[in-house]
Structure 1
Amino acid sequence: MESFGSFRRKFAPWNDPAAKPYITFEKVTKIFGDFTAVDDLSLDVFNREFFALLGASGCGKTTLMRMLAGFEEPTSGRILLDGQDLRGIPPYRRPVNMMFQSYALFPHMTVEGNIAFGLKQDGMAKSEIDARVGEMLKLVKLEKFAKRKPHQLSGGQRQRVALARAVAKRPKVLLLDEPLGALDKKLREETQFELMDLQVKLGLTFMVVTHDQEEAMTMADRIAVMDHGRIMQVATPAEVYEAPASKFVADFIGNVNILDGTVEKVANGEAEITAAAQGLTIRAETGKALAPGQKVWFAVRPEKIRINREKPQDASFNAVEGELWDIAYFGDMTVFHVRLDNGTLIKAASLNAVRKTENPLTYDERVWVSFDTDAGLVLTA
């Protein structure tokens, strides 16, 4: 069976027509003064899904989450949770908990005191609180740190305390606002996998707000890419990366080369496109209904492009010559910037599968970049 990327888990209720959404945003708009933060947005999220809202600052993702939590009310539209309209229900009565980027821990309380705080507020019996706190400490692997205060913990440990406090009340939905932003890169990567494992173990619905593409791609079952209060695409991480719905999504997610072109002809599921500025003829597989003369964009990821000193056997299409302009070595891969004769930069990436390379490519060499007909995507919007 062909698919975009590997499956993290066999969980895809959005593909089942009979599955009912757990969270529904129905034509939701939120206006602050003369600024529209969320614009007529509709979205479904399913029970036990790890869902990510991804976008640049100001795109509306945090406003959307705050409306679900009850800190803001929609200007129009409805938000449903498990079939219940949330309008008018205050935050403390919603079966939703929110973990903030700052963690918002009480500095004068111990780790166990922070975790127990919400349970005490709910009037839970002491024996039950003690049992629940012990369960949460074990879940986030902080049993040895129960008596410490936040200033005695590392950033990663404070993050886990905040997470334990958020899930201690067993909300139906856990909202995470840039949850890993304060962590260093290595710890952030480790914590991403911990969060994924925890979400599956708890069986909760997680919704995370982030501007970090890698974070969303790693953790989420599906991603909603947002821009100016609207959703541009909702899909699995692999689908968003390999089959972006628009030029905006292609450009926003990861590295990509996007070339302006004109359709010359279409036959047998393949389009021939002229990228006149680059002096390049493109042949690309496509299922889109295209017409000769139509203006399109061709998007191809750097890792799908080959780079060689030798001219390809057939350079009449999907191949162009240029000068090696920049080289970025990342350890696991190397990214090459090739400057074409018209000044366009084409990015090509190569996996460093061996430790040593004979006669490696270097600056100012003339090289050819080329790609297969199924390497890229023809975009019409």
Structure 2
Amino acid sequence: MKSLGNVRRSFTPWADGSAKPYIAFENVTKRFGDFTAVDNLTMHVYEREFFSLLGPSGCGKTTLLRMLAGFEEPTSGDIFLDGQPLKGVPPHKRAVNMMFQSYALFPHLNVADNIAFGLRQEGMEKGAVAERVDQMLKLVKLEQFARRKPHQLSGGQRQRVALARSVAKRPKLLLLDEPLGALDKKLREETQFELMDLQEQLGLTFMIVTHDQEEAMTMSDRIAVMDAGTVVQTGTPGEIYEAPNTRYVADFIGNVNMFEGRITAVENGLAEMEASDGFGIRAVAQPGVDAGKHAWFAIRPEKVDVTRTKPEQDHNAVEGEVWDIAYLGGLTVFNVRLDSGAVIKATVLNSERAVEDPIGYEERVWLSFDPDCGILLER
């Protein structure tokens, strides 16, 4: 059985027609004066899902989070949590916690008291508060730091304190707004996996806002790619990456090469396209792709082969000159300039420590790929 990308767990309630969404945005619009931040958006998220809102600044993703938390009210439309309408429900009465990028820890309180703050505000009994704080400290592996103040902690440790405080009240839903943006790259990568493990252990529903594509791809069960207040595509990381539904999604997620042209024939499930860069492309035909239509062929750099010798096939092969080379340790990136002037990116896995007779600058090389390695897009 083939799958679009590897999946970290067999959790797919969205594929079950009888499953009820845990969070439902129904025809939600949010305007600030003349500006429409969210435009007639409908979207469903399921219980225990790790769901990411991904998009550029100003696309409406944080506004969605703030409406769910109760800090903003929709101009029109409805939002439901666990089947209950949220209209008119104040933030403190929603079973929702929100974790901000700044962490917003109390500087005068130690770690244990920061975690306990919300529990005490709710009037939880003293012994129960102490027990819950101990549980949270153990969960985020900060037991030995319980008496330290926030300024005595590293960025990653402060992030874990904020996370522990957010989940201590056992919210039905945890909202995270760019929670890892303040961390360095290595620590951010480590924390991503900690968040995933924590979410599964607690069985909570996480919704995260991020503009970092790699972060969303790493942690999410599903991703909603947003643009100008609307959701352009929702799917698993593999679906978003391998089967984007538009050029916008293909270009926004990862690196991609895009060839423009016209479909000349469709036969036996394959489409023939004459690319404007002067070579023929054969690709798996998508539904609705017909001869005579204008189209784009999108292919990821790692799906493109680089060779000195001309491939045997007449299609899906084009010659060019090596324009740039970047050695990234695990990968080598080749930027190859075609005779048309277009620059195509190909990445090669460095599976061996030493390379015999490596391809160099200004060499003439051939780029080639299989028909099922890319996708045809009509828009």
Under TM normalisation by the shorter chain, which class is it? Answer: over 0.9
**For 1:264-297, what per-residue CA distance to the aligned partner results, in whole angstroms no more than 9, with x for missing partners?**
0000100000012x11100001232222221001
- The equivalences for 1:314-329 within 5 A come to 314=313, 316-329=314-327
SS in 2 for 1:374: helix
**Aligned residue number for residue 174 of structure 1:** 174
Letter in 2 for 1:308: T
Letter in 1 for 2:238: A
- Mapped partners of 2:90, 2:279: distance in 1: 59
**Aligned residue number for residue 43 of structure 1:** 43
What's the TM-score once normalised by structure 2's chain length?
0.99
Whether the aligned pair in 1 keeps the contact of 2:262 and 2:292 (CA below 8 Å) is: yes
Shift of 1:125: 0.7
**Aligned residue number for residue 17 of structure 1:** 17
- Mapped partners of 1:223, 1:267: distance in 2: 34
Q: Which consecutive residues of structure 2, in runs of 5 or more, have no partner in the other structure?
A: none
- The equivalences for 1:1-381 within 5 A come to 1-276=1-276, 278-314=277-313, 316-381=314-379
- Mapped partners of 1:188, 1:103: distance in 2: 15
- Mapped partners of 2:203, 2:290: distance in 1: 48
Letter in 2 for 1:350: V
- Mapped partners of 1:68, 1:112: distance in 2: 28
**For 1:188-220, what per-residue CA distance to the aligned partner results, in whole angstroms no more than 9, with x for missing partners?**
111000000000000000000000000000000
Identity %: 67
- Mapped partners of 1:35, 1:241: distance in 2: 31
SS in 1 for 2:334: strand
- Mapped partners of 1:175, 1:166: distance in 2: 9
> Which is further off, 66-75 or 278-287?
278-287
Whether the aligned pair in 1 keeps the contact of 2:286 and 2:376 (CA below 8 Å) is: no
Number of equivalent positions: 379
- Mapped partners of 2:285, 2:324: distance in 1: 32
What's the TM-score once normalised by structure 1's chain length?
0.99
Q: Which consecutive residues of structure 1, in runs of 5 or more, have no partner in the other structure?
A: none
**For 1:93-146, what per-residue CA distance to the aligned partner results, in whole angstroms no more than 9, with x for missing partners?**
000000000000000000001000001110111101000000000000000000
